[in-house]
Amino acid sequence: MSEHRKIELFDSTLRDGTQGEGVNLSVDDKLRIAQRLDEFGISILEGGWPGSNPRDQEFFRRAKQMTFHQAKICAFGSTARSVKAVESDSNLNALLMAETEVVSIFGKTWRLHAEKGLGLNTAENSELIEKSVAYLVQKGRRVVFDAEHFFDGYKDSSEFAMEMLLAAQRGGADTLVLCDTNGGTLPHEVSQATQHVLDTFSLPVGIHAHNDGGMAAANTIVAVQAGASHVQGTMNGVGERCGNANLSTVIPNLILKLGLDLKHEVDLTQLTKIANYVFEIMNLHPDDRAPFVGRSAFAHKGGIHVSAVMKDSRMYEHIVPKEVGARQRVLVSDLSGKSNIRYKAEELDINLEDSLGEVPGKVVEHIKNLEHGGYQYEAAEASFELILKEQMGSFSPFFEVEDSRVIVSYERDGHNLADAMLKVRVNGEVEHTAADGVGPVNALNKALQKALIRFYPQLSTVHLTDYKVRVLDGTNGTKAVVRVLIESSDGNSSWSTVGVSENIIEASWQALVDSLNYKLMKSEIKNKNIKG
C-alpha cells in the first residue's frame, strides 16, 4: 500500500442510490444534490444511466450547463449487447451522447452470469468487455470498469474473474472496480481477493460494496487497507435492497481512523449537514443511529456515562463530534443522574449555582416518577425545560384552562368534524372561545390559540409540524395509556413537548399546553434580554 496514495471518492447516490425502495428524485433534486456533493469535495458523481430513461438524459443535458468545482460527472451503463455490434450499440452511444468526461460500465465477471444470463463462454465474454471498453476509450472517455459480481465470481472461478479484469485492462480501462453486487461477501474474503488483484494489475483498483450482509462499510475499509484507491458508495447508504456502502460512514473512517488523504479535500465538518440534506431532498427520515452523522451518534443517556463525558468526552466518544459537524447530546430519562440535569441546564443556559444540592436531585426524582408513568423526555426537551424551571421556581404557567369540551360529529360522507369550547383565565381575566377543526386535537389547538391570541399575539406564528401517538400498554385495549409527542414551530425554531394519559385527547392537550407555554416563556426571556 503506497504511502502517497490518495483516495478517489466516487459517489453513486444519483444512480445506484435512486434504485433504493422509496427513493424518487426529480431532475432538479439530482442537480441540487450534485452541487452539494461537489462543494463537499466528492471527486466523481455518477449521475445516472442515460440509455435507460429520459430523466437521466435530461440530467446530463442540464449538468453540462452547470459549473462544478472539481467533481467530474459520470454516466453509467453496461457493456455492449453483442460483440459484433459494439460501435452501433445504443447503450454505449447513449453514454457518449451524455458528453461526460468519465463513464462507468459494468461487465460480467461471474461465469454464472456470463453463461446463463448472456449465453457467452469465457472467450466471448472477455472479448465483449475488451471491445466495449476500447470503443469508449477511443472516443476520449476515461472508463471506470465495474466488475459486476466480482467477489462471487472470484469465489466460483478466480481464473474467469481475473480474465475479465484483464480484458478491461486490454481495452484501456482507467480503473478496475471490484463489486460485491449481492452484498454477501465477508471482509476477509474481500481483503484476500483485492490483494490478489492489486498484486496482478498496475491499474488503480476500486471497491463497490452492497450492504446485504451488513458489511458494506467494513468491506470498503478492508479493500482500502489492502491497497484500493478508488471508493464507491452513496450518501446515507441508500441503494437497492439493503443499500450501498454508506459514504457518511466510510469517509470519516478513511480520514480520521486511517489517516488517508483524499484526491480532493472534503470539508468533513459539513458531513452531518450534507447527510441530512440528502435525506431531506429524498423525503426520507434521517437515521438517528447512523454512525458519525446520526442524531444519536453522540447522545448519552446513562448517568455514569454523562458524569464521565463531562470530565473528559474521550471516555465515551470515539471522536470529537464537531469534526464531522455533529454535536454532543445528553438525554434526560429515568436512567438519568444529577450529571444529566446539570449538563442539560448548562446546555439550556440555566444557572443552577444557587441550588446545586437541591434542584438536580429533585428533578431527577421527578423525571423518574414521570417516566415510570409513561412520559418520555428524550424527544420532548421543551417539556423538560419547563419542568426544570418550574422546580427552580422561575416558571409558572402563563394561562389556566378552567373548562374544556370537545364534540366530535360524523357525517354520512365519511368526514368528521370536531368543535372545541374553552374557558381560559389569563391574569385574572376569563376568555370564552370555540373553534372547529378536522379532528379533536386540531379543534383544541385552534381554540386555545384563539383564546390566547388577544393576550399573547406572538402565538399567531405557532403551528404544529408533527404529531405522534404511541400506545404504551396494548393489553388494555381502548383503555391503554398513550403518549403523545408534539413538535411545534414558529418559523424560526422548533420544539417538542409530551403528554401522557389513558385519554388520547387529554394527552394531546397536555402537550399542546406545554407547547404554548414554552413559546411564551422563550418570548418573555427574549424581551427581557432586549430591554436589558
CATH number for the domain including 85?
A: 3.20.20.70
What pLDDT score does 316 carry? Answer: 78
Residue pLDDT, tens place only, 305-314: 666 666 777 8
Considering 254, 281, 308, which residue would you say is the last residue of a domain? 281
Q: What are phi and psi of 428, to 5 degrees?
A: 85, -10
State the residue range of the domain holding 451. Answer: 399-455
- Count CB neighbours of 506 within 10 A: 15
What pLDDT score does 530 carry? Answer: 53
- Partner residues linked to 436 by β-bridges: 419
Instruction: Please give the model's pTM, rounded to 2 decimal places.
Output: 0.72
Order of all β-strands in the sheet with 416-426 = 400-410, 416-426, 429-437
Write the burial class of residue 48 (CB in 10 Å: 0-12 exposed, 13-18 middle, 19+ buried).
buried
pLDDT grade, residue 329 (50/70/90)? low
What pLDDT score does 356 carry? Answer: 46
The yes-or-no verdict on residue 362 having pLDDT over 90 is no
Do residue 157 and residue 228 come from a single domain?
A: yes
- Partner residues linked to 401 by β-bridges: 424
Do residue 20 and residue 153 come from a single domain?
A: yes
176/179 Cα distance (integer angstroms)? 10
Range 485-495 burial, b when 16+ CB lie within 10 A, else e = bbbbbbeeeeb
Kindly state the average pLDDT of the residues 327-342: 60
DSSP string, 503-519: SHHHHHHHHHHHHHHHH
Give, in order, the Cα–Cα distances in Å from 345 to each of 172, 332, 384: 63, 11, 10
Question: Does a structural domain hold residue 174?
Answer: yes
Question: Does a structural domain hold residue 491?
Answer: no
Residue pLDDT, tens place only, 313-323: 787 778 998 99
Pairing state of beta strands 494-501 and 429-437?
Answer: unpaired
Do residue 175 and residue 233 come from a single domain?
A: yes
Question: Does a structural domain hold residue 22?
Answer: yes
Summary mean pLDDT of the chain: 87
Question: Does a structural domain hold residue 527?
Answer: no
Contact (Cβ atoms closer than 8 angstroms) between residue 218 and residue 189: no
Do residue 52 and residue 185 come from a single domain?
A: yes
Question: Does a structural domain hold residue 31?
Answer: yes
Do residue 36 and residue 136 come from a single domain?
A: yes
Least Cα distance to 377 among 390, 363, 398 occurs for: 363
478/471 Cα distance (integer angstroms)? 9
Question: Does a structural domain hold residue 464?
Answer: no
Do residue 268 and residue 315 come from a single domain?
A: no
The C-alpha cell at 232 is: 464507491
Contact (Cβ atoms closer than 8 angstroms) between residue 49 and residue 77: yes
CA 393 from chain center: how many Å?
Answer: 40
The C-alpha cell at 86 is: 459494439
Window from 122-131, 180-189, 411-420, 470-479 with minimum mean pLDDT: 470-479
More confident residue, 349 or 248: 248
Kindly state the average pLDDT of the residues 225-233: 98
Structurally, the chain folds into a number of domains equal to 3
Considering 281, 307, 323, which residue would you say is the last residue of a domain? 281
DSSP string, 337-350: -HHHHHHHHHHTT-
Kindly state the average pLDDT of the residues 424-441: 88
Do residue 244 and residue 336 come from a single domain?
A: no
Do residue 362 and residue 222 come from a single domain?
A: no
Question: Residues 111, 112, 117, CA angle at the centre, nearest 5°?
Answer: 110
pLDDT grade, residue 407 (50/70/90)? confident
What pLDDT score does 358 carry? Answer: 66
What pLDDT score does 68 carry? Answer: 95
Do residue 34 and residue 165 come from a single domain?
A: yes
Window from 182-196, 242-256, 334-348 with minimum mean pLDDT: 334-348
Considering 229, 252, 281, which residue would you say is the last residue of a domain? 281
Question: DSSP 3-state assignment of 256?
Answer: helix
Give, in order, the Cα–Cα distances in Å from 108 to each of 122, 160, 200: 10, 10, 19
Kindly state the average pLDDT of the residues 195-206: 97
Do residue 192 and residue 323 come from a single domain?
A: no
Do residue 366 and residue 322 come from a single domain?
A: yes
Question: Does a structural domain hold residue 343?
Answer: yes
Contact (Cβ atoms closer than 8 angstroms) between residue 157 and residue 118: no
Question: Does a structural domain hold residue 384?
Answer: no
More confident residue, 369 or 92: 92
Do residue 145 and residue 260 come from a single domain?
A: yes
Question: DSSP 3-state assignment of 490?
Answer: coil
What pLDDT score does 1 carry? Answer: 41
Kindly state the average pLDDT of the residues 268-283: 92
Residue pLDDT, tens place only, 459-507: 999 998 888 888 876 555 656 788 888 899 998 888 989 888 888 888 8
Q: Tell me, what CATH number does 414's domain have?
A: 3.30.160
Residue pLDDT, tens place only, 105-134: 999 999 999 998 889 999 999 999 999 999
Least Cα distance to 416 among 445, 437, 446 occurs for: 437
